[in-house]
Each structure stands twice: as structure tokens, then as C-alpha cells.
Amino acid sequence: MNLAPLAEVTRGGQIESLHAGAVAVVDSGGKLLYYAGDADFPTFTRSTLKPFQALPFMRGGGVAHFGFGSREIALMCASHSGEPMHVDTVRAMLSCAGCDEHHLRCGCHVPIRYAAADQRPPAGEIFNQLHNNCSGKHAGFLAYCVQHGLPLDTYIDPGHPLQQAIRHDVARIAGLPESGLVSGIDGCSAPNYAMPLSRLALCYARLARGANDREYGCALGPLFDAMTGQPELVSGSGRADLAFMQAAPRDWVVKGGAEGVLAVGVRSAGLGIALKVADGNARALYPAAIAVLRQLALIDAVTPAPLEPWSQPTLRNLRGLVTGDVRATVRLVKA
Amino acid sequence: MNLAPLAEVTRGGQIESLHAGAVAVVDSGGKLLYYAGDADFPTFTRSTLKPFQALPFMRGGGVAHFGFGSREIALMCASHSGEPMHVDTVRAMLSCAGCDEHHLRCGCHVPIRYAAADQRPPAGEIFNQLHNNCSGKHAGFLAYCVQHGLPLDTYIDPGHPLQQAIRHDVARIAGLPESGLVSGIDGCSAPNYAMPLSRLALCYARLARGANDREYGCALGPLFDAMTGQPELVSGSGRADLAFMQAAPRDWVVKGGAEGVLAVGVRSAGLGIALKVADGNARALYPAAIAVLRQLALIDAVTPAPLEPWSQPTLRNLRGLVTGDVRATVRLVKA
């Protein structure tokens, strides 16, 4: 496996740990323009898949059927923090479909908002599946099933018509045969797919083209507009995806996924960018992504203010003493 | 940097993430016998340093002075879980020295016991510095200062006589000039040192020799006996270091450290073994260590029962569904 350096973690000015991985930069036709490491690294897409998991819903007229707006579309694409704005919107989406929290099959976890703020959850606070960062995606899944008269209780089974429709659309967007998608089960129990990293980049180049995509424009247009128009609903306070989308409003669509995946679509430049940290650690991801954006001349010498905390993050210990930092080491190569 | 494969993480039977790093296996004279990757990978020792940070205390007659036994010695070497047995012992150690929790400079964190049991801390539970996994080490630091009339409030400053004495002893055990130790600040705010991975292996080969070490035997003997005699005090319920020491009682001395470091001393074989996961992720560490022990014929075909959960851990998602596993890929090379 050909891995390229992405970032190093220092302590006392010396390297303590190293992160390697791969980067692919493509145009909206999927042509590889720049790369680092193996541009076709087989990459489980994890939460970067969410906008494309919403394609059957979008194409099936779900937005009009349920009277959803861009807030609800943003939530379907979200790895949200479980803040009230997220939880309330998901609850309302479920209600529109005649469902509630008990129909969800995503499982529970402590909302991301606490980790994002480096806080412990308040004493005695009870969480449910609405707080799961994927609950908006699952609410969209359930709404699709209600609209099309499909079984609700098996909506995440790989053989369910919804999941088959998603698999079909994901393969089309990625320009792959369905047999080219490797299947796994995601943290939220939904099917997830792996594809070559350059194909994930292509998916985001097409998402950034939005309404101008010849095949899926009528779905990708509203998805891009919703994600970039309400990035706080797709992510959450203090999180990197939000900061990246605030750095280039309505131009960069940015989505992270578990195990060190990040995908960026750049409307103005007609580019799709995907990064995979081979070891899965997200701490390398954002410094490396900023370095990549700079090498592509999408960021100039001055780092945009929202990205400043993510560029070369200072590491502090329990008493707040600086112990080191995370530094990008990635170098893009022209294809 | 020459890194070797250590482990891979799968999803749906396919590789999702990869971990690389280095391994060094030496005899008690420091001769390299086997390796993977760069045997001299510059490695911040982190918590694997703890037994050697106790050397000035041990050599200065601290055990007799304070009436400590093997429980207190074990705690000085511990990355403990903050269970009552740990916290109570540390509180008593501080009391013997006329100190209390307020003299500690290690900072607070949620006790490891909750992460080890995959639990949230009970609502409203308040934690203090006694719960810090390093509090036993710091209690030993303070006791040393009290015994020798040294300032208490600066006990973790690199220039403090205690820290100078530790640096001296660490360099001697590692067979390095003091200038060969790279300095950083640890998570608990104490000075920490980096050294070539093979030298960390040497430190553990010497620790395993214990009383038979020509230079430091009178300290290393009780340190080895305490760590291997009460491994539950050095680690905690459900944790890997404990499982490893239970797998070969009073023979293997095993200590993990942050950022993917593990060191093992094997008394019966006269070996020291050190592993560093280059990216710092501990999930690769224990499967790789078991593979290394097997390749050294220290484990036969049947994995000892305590190690079974650490050999090829199954990964499950929020609803308990199996998503994949962690598999060792390390291959030792004869030096």
C-alpha cells in the first residue's frame, strides 16, 4: 500500500507520532489532477456518504411530499452534534413521516457536542437515538419508506429496497459498477460502502457541481445548497466541518467521516478532494486538508480565520501546558 | 522513517485502516535480537518510564523511610484506573509524607476505570487529582522531596533536583548519555524522555532481571516484584496491561504508555521488548504484542486465556453488531 506522509505530532519540538495516508484531487469528470500516496486507496466512505445516501429520497420527491426545506435536507447529510437545533429538527422530520424515536435503528451515543466542547455531559442527562449524529440520515430513510410504502422495521437491511436504491445511486455517482462497491456495516448500523479514494473525490466534485450535474443535478443542487447554506446543521458548534464551510461560504462543501476520511467539493474550482488517514485518526485530517487546499491555491498565505485553530493545532496536557502540536507534512504531486 | 506493518482494522472483511510502527527485542545486555521497522525509532517513553522515574526514591531509601510495601511501589509504577484500591493507596502514600491531594501537580481527568468498562461516570461524581492515572507516581515524587528536604511546589520542574536525579538514572538504565535523552512534557506535566526504541526494550530487559542487575539491582528487584506481584494496582480491571501480566505471572512485566507505546520484560527468557505504533493508536498495540510474543515462542499456539480478548479484538457498533476486527500483521526479523 503506497502511503504518503500527511502530518506529524510533536512533543517538546520532536516528532512523537506520524500519520500517513492518501489524497486524491479530481475534476468533475473524475480526472485525477493531484494526489499523494495511493489515489485509489480503498476507502470506506463512512459519513462522507451521507449526501448520496439521501439521493433516493431526493429523487423520489420526498422533499415536496413531506414539505421539507433546506434545514431537513441538511440534517439528512449531517453528522450532527446533538444540539437542540439538530435534535428538534430530526424529531420534527420523524413526526412528518408519522414516526418517532422508537422507529430509529441507529443506536445511542453521547452527543458529539460534549466532546466538541471538551465537556462532560451534565449529570443525569439521558440521551436517546435522536442524539445520534446520524439520526437525520435515518429520519430521511424512514420518511422514504413511509412515502413509498416500504417496511419500516428492516429499513437498514442491505436487501431492503431503500438500501438497494442507495447502492444503485452511490455506484452511479461514483462512476462504478455496483460490484465495485465494497460493503460493510457503519457505526449507525446502516450499510456503508468502500470505493477508491479518487471516486469519493469524484462524488464531491459532482456534489459541488450541484444542479449542473447532468445525471443527478435535481438532487445534488438542493443537497449542495442545504449543506453549504446551513453548515451548522450538518456539523455543530466548534467542529472542523463547520469551520471549513464557514471559511468559503457556499463554495466548499465539506464532510468528515469516521476512521480519518474527509471529502471536499469546491464549486468555484470544479474540484473534488478526498483524504484518508490510513490509521483512521482524525487529528491528522484537518491540518493535512488545509495544507492540501493551500497547495491547490484555494487558500492563500493567510489562513482564513475559521480554519486557524485547525491548521497547526496546539496540544495541551491536563493542566493546560503546551506539550506539542500537529503539523501537516503532506505534499501533493501533479498527476 | 522505516516503519513496519503492525496491525490492520477491517470492516466487512476488508481492510479499513492500517497501523505501522516499530518493534525491538533485546537481551539484558542490550543486544538487538529481533526487530520490525526501525528498532531505533525515537520513542517518547510516556508511562513506560514510570518504574525508572521511581529509581531515585527506591535508591534513596524511601521505602524504609516511609514504611512502604509492595502495594505502594506498584502504585508508583502505575497508570492506574482510579478504582478505590488505587485512590485509597495513593491517599495513604501522600499522608505518610505529610501531603495531600492539593500537593499534586498531575491534574485531573475522568478515571480510566469508566473507559475500561465502556461506562459513563455516575451522575454528579466529582474527581480530583488522586484519580489521575499518574497520581501514584506523583505521590512518590512528593515523598522523595519530603524525605530529602527538597521544595514540594516545583517538584515537576525539569531543573528540580528530583527530576535531575530521574534523568540521570533513566540515562544510566538506558545506557545512554544524558544528552541522548530528548525531553518533553508528559500528560501529567512531569518531564518525559524519548529514546531509541531498542533502549526502551533494554530498560525492560533490565527491569526483568530485577535484583540481578549489577548496577540497579537493589531498586529493580523490588520494582519488578511489586509490578508483577500486584498487576491490578499497576493497571486496573479489564485492562490489557493487567491481562498480559496475568498471562505469565511473575514472569512478564508489562507497561503501556500513551501514543501507542508498550514495553515488556520477560524474566524467564532474559528479554526486553518494546513496541511503538507510529500513529499513536493503542488499538494496534495489543494484537501486535501478542503476535510478537508468539513469534518469540513465548506464547504457543493456544493464546493464554487472559490474552484472548486482546488477540484479535472484534469491533462492534453502537447496537452491538460486529463490524470488523483488529488483526496483527507484524513480522519480526532476526537481527
User: What does A91-127 look like in DSSP terms, one character per residue?
Assistant: HHHHHHTT--GGG--S-----HHHHHTT-PPPTT---
Residues of A with CB below 8 A from B323's CB? 184-187
The whole-angstrom separation of Cα A172 and Cα A178 is 8
Which one of B17, B105, B106 has the shortest CB-CB distance to A259?
A: B17
Q: Are B185 and A317 in contact (CB under 8 A)?
A: yes
The whole-angstrom separation of Cα A131 and Cα B94 is 43
Q: What is the pLDDT at residue B3?
A: 97
Q: What is the pLDDT at residue B124?
A: 81
Q: Are strands B271-277 and A4-11 parallel, antiparallel or unpaired?
A: unpaired
Interface of B with A in 256-315 (CB under 8 A): 259-260, 278-281, 284
Please give chain A's pLDDT, 335 residues, in tens: 799 999 999 999 999 999 999 999 999 999 999 999 999 999 999 999 999 999 999 999 999 999 999 999 999 999 999 999 999 999 999 999 999 999 999 999 999 999 999 888 888 888 999 999 999 999 999 999 999 999 999 999 999 999 999 999 999 999 999 999 999 999 999 999 999 999 999 999 999 999 999 999 999 999 999 999 999 999 999 999 999 999 999 999 999 999 999 999 999 999 999 999 999 999 999 999 999 999 999 998 899 999 999 999 999 999 999 999 999 999 999 99
> Would you call A192 and B11 a contact, using CB atoms and an 8 Å cutoff?
yes
Q: Are B39 and B24 in contact (CB under 8 A)?
A: yes
Q: What angle do CA B54, B61, B143 make, to 5 degrees?
A: 60
| Nearest CA-CA partner of A58 in A167, A177, A216 | A216
> Would you call A123 and B123 a contact, using CB atoms and an 8 Å cutoff?
yes
Give the residue ranges of DSSP H helices in chain B. 50-53, 55-59, 62-66, 70-76, 84-96, 112-116, 135-148, 161-174, 197-209, 217-229, 231-234, 240-247, 285-295, 308-311
Tell how far CA B70 is from the center of its chain: 17
Q: Are B262 and B274 in contact (CB under 8 A)?
A: yes
The CATH code that applies to domain A4-334 is 3.40.710
Among B14, B38, B40, B44, most A C-beta atoms within 10 A, so best to mutate, is B44
Q: Indicate the Cα dihedral angle B84, B86, B92, B94, nearest 10°.
A: -130
CA-based nearest distance A105→chain B, Å? 8
Q: What are phi and psi of A23, to 5 degrees?
A: -140, 140
The residue to which cell 497508570 is assigned: B79
At B99 the three-state DSSP class reads coil
In percent, the amount of chain B with pLDDT more than 70 equals 100
Which one of A16, A189, A284 has the shortest CB-CB distance to B317?
A: A189
> Would you call A318 and B194 a contact, using CB atoms and an 8 Å cutoff?
no
Predicted TM-score (pTM) of the model is 0.96
For chain A, say whether B98 makes contact (Cβ under 8 Å): no
Average per-residue pLDDT for chain B: 97
The whole-angstrom separation of Cα B291 and Cα A138 is 40
Listed by start position, the domains of chain B span: 4-334
> Would you call A281 and B281 a contact, using CB atoms and an 8 Å cutoff?
yes
Q: Which residues contact A195 (CB under 8 A, 6 or more apart)?
A: A42, A43, A45, A174, A176, A180, A181, A182
Residues B31-56 have a mean pLDDT of: 98
Among A44, A183, A281, most B C-beta atoms within 10 A, so best to mutate, is A44
For chain B, say whether A20 makes contact (Cβ under 8 Å): yes
| Nearest CA-CA partner of B73 in B246, B242, B230 | B230
Chain A residue with CA closest to B322: the answer is A185
* Higher pLDDT pick, B322 / B124: B322
Q: Which cell numbers hold the place of B160? A: 528540580
The whole-angstrom separation of Cα A202 and Cα A31 is 8
Interface of B with A in 128-147 (CB under 8 A): 132
Distances (CA, A) of A103 to A62, A135, B215, B317: 18, 11, 67, 18
CA-based nearest distance A124→chain B, Å? 5
Q: Which residues contact B238 (CB under 8 A, 6 or more apart)?
A: B116, B117
Among A1, A11, A118, A277, most B C-beta atoms within 10 A, so best to mutate, is A11
> What is chain A's alpha carbon radius of gyration, rounded to the nearest angstrom?
19
The whole-angstrom separation of Cα B256 and Cα B264 is 9
First to last CA, chain B: 18
Q: Is the pLDDT of residue B1 over 90?
A: no
Q: Which cell numbers hold the place of B131? A: 484519580
> Would you call B42 and A319 a contact, using CB atoms and an 8 Å cutoff?
no
Q: What is the pLDDT at residue A121?
A: 87
Residues B159-188 have a mean pLDDT of: 97
CA-based nearest distance A239→chain B, Å? 22
Which one of B14, B20, B123 has the shortest CB-CB distance to A184?
A: B14
The whole-angstrom separation of Cα A307 and Cα B311 is 40
